[in-house]
Amino acid sequence: MFSYSTYLKYNSLIVLHICFFFVMEMGNAQQFLKGKTVLVTGATGFLAKVFVEKLLRTQSDLKKLYLLLRASDTNTATKRLHDEIISKDLFRVLRDKWGTDFGSFISEKVVAVAGDVSLANLGLNEENVENKISKEIDIIVNVAATTNFDERFDIAIGVNTMGALHVLNFAKTCPKIQALLHVSTAYVCGEAKVDGKVIKEEPFQMGQTLNGVTELDIEEEKILMEKRLEELRAKNVDGNALKFAMKGYGIERAKLHGWPNTYSFTKAMGEMILSHLKDNIPLIIVRPTIVSSTFKEPFPGWIEGFRTIDSVIGGYGKGIVTHFLGRPKTIVDVIPVDMVINSMIAALKLIIHSKNGAQQENYIYHIGSSFRNPLTMSRISNLSYLYFSKNPLTQKNGKPIIVSKAKFLTSMPSFQRHVMIRYLLPLKGLNLVNKVCCLNFFQDVYRSRLRKVQRVIRMAEIYEPYLVFKAIFNDANTESLRGTTKMEDAGDVGFDFEFDPLSIDWTDYMINVHIPGFIKFAMK
């Protein structure tokens, strides 16, 4: 029998031979967007910012980069462009490269467009603007999404599901369109409760469910969502009550069809629409796993906001989290954001240079690490302990927060029992003392600690499907891209196009890059 390492070597040889036939027709990596016009949606998001920076830094010969930003008018969109994108530290390498010409370069290449993917025609109400943009565009990259796992159902459907349809419909009005790249998530697969299960890079069928029990009708889901919203408003439910009601309804509908949360459910429906209705639009769907800080580009460690694992690691460093929910051997599929971006560019390049711009048979790409370079929960725990032992965070009084090795709670019931015994019962006792003795001295302490416990509980409930995830993601299509890119760009030392998870040394990355990065950029 082949060993796993032998399989990888054998598989890589096959991929390299297949890729040879593509390489002859594909131009230099630094030139493939020359003269092209690209539209990017959701450009204020973490992943989209890195994509925009990469294009501007390495593809300076592109003609125009339109960024669709949610705004009421062009002036507001332009302000968002500068305040929320260009001014970020992420762009410092590009800023240094152009020096005093940076502003003029951005003005020449980048155009902020006011719009909204949740609206028909992307919210481009001015007919002349809509027509002009549609005639110019060669490539559309749809990164717009709401990534809250328990987002309001109406908002999640509007952006993640109907947004995909609106982007597709707009692409069909673009006479020069050569590619539509849609960013999804690997976790559209739902929960994985079977050890070693391999999730393949396969499209959804329209109406497919994960539990095989119910029938999914996307239009019906939209109608039910609108009906529930009308009922709540008729009862004068508004504010937080409306928000929580629609969040709860989203989770209810997701679980009915087999998905663990509103995010993965609405993203899956978006994929169904794209695959079923794409017609002759050359489509790419990328499915990243847990996206982390930059590995190399434009510099190591840049991140914005807490990603999935960072909430746990950050809570551990603060002394809030002492137990990790999950099994020590559970594989946590993490991939640096710049590797995601490089694979997206490689996929675009492949489809643009394919014969007659035809749709590729395999257009779905898992971008992750679990299949080739797995990272386990126990390793994350150990590396977190090593880092915070040497580099402790500090309390408000300046004293270091001392961490001990985290323990594992392998199921949600065991986690709930631990929280009840360790935290909730003592807090109830403290609250009882406050009331019996008519003391308000401990009331602030009680409320503060209760909020922290509630935050940990909520965090565990949201991330539990991924912290006990038992499958791995096959990435055969992405490996084919890697083979193509390696052959094509061999010797091109000026163009860094790395997206092979085998190149990641997890110890070095976590301790010297990722944890310091999110402490610096996300824990300000």
User: Is 387 among the residues known to form the active site?
Assistant: no
Q: CB within 8 A of 346, min separation 6: which ones?
A: 481, 482, 484, 485, 497, 499
How is 81-105 classified by DSSP, letter by letter? HIIIIITSGGGHHHHHHHGGGHHHH
Which single residue is written with the structure tokens 């499209």? 203
Which single residue is written with the structure tokens 């809250």? 148
Distance of CA 397 to the CA centre of its chain: 36
| CA nearest neighbour of 459 among 424, 412, 417 | 412
Which single residue is written with the structure tokens 């054998």? 10
How is 349-412 classified by DSSP, letter by letter? HHHHSSGGGPPPS--EEEE-STTTS--BHHHHHHHHHHHHHHS--B-TTS-B----PPEEE-SH
d(CA 524, CA 522): 6
Cβ pair 114, 228 in contact under 8 A: no
Catalytic residue, chosen from 187, 263, 363, 387, is 263
Which single residue is written with the structure tokens 């991924």? 466
Q: How far is the first Cα of the chain from the last one, in angstroms, to the nearest whole number?
A: 52
Cβ pair 384, 316 in contact under 8 A: yes
Cβ pair 292, 336 in contact under 8 A: yes
User: Is 267 among the residues known to form the active site?
Assistant: yes
Helix (H) or strand (E) holding 39: strand 37-41
Catalytic residue, chosen from 54, 267, 278, 349, is 267
Strand partners, 199: 473
Q: CB within 8 A of 518, min separation 6: which ones?
A: 293, 301, 303, 306, 307, 310, 313, 314
Number of residues in the chain: 524
* Catalytic (active-site) positions: 263, 267
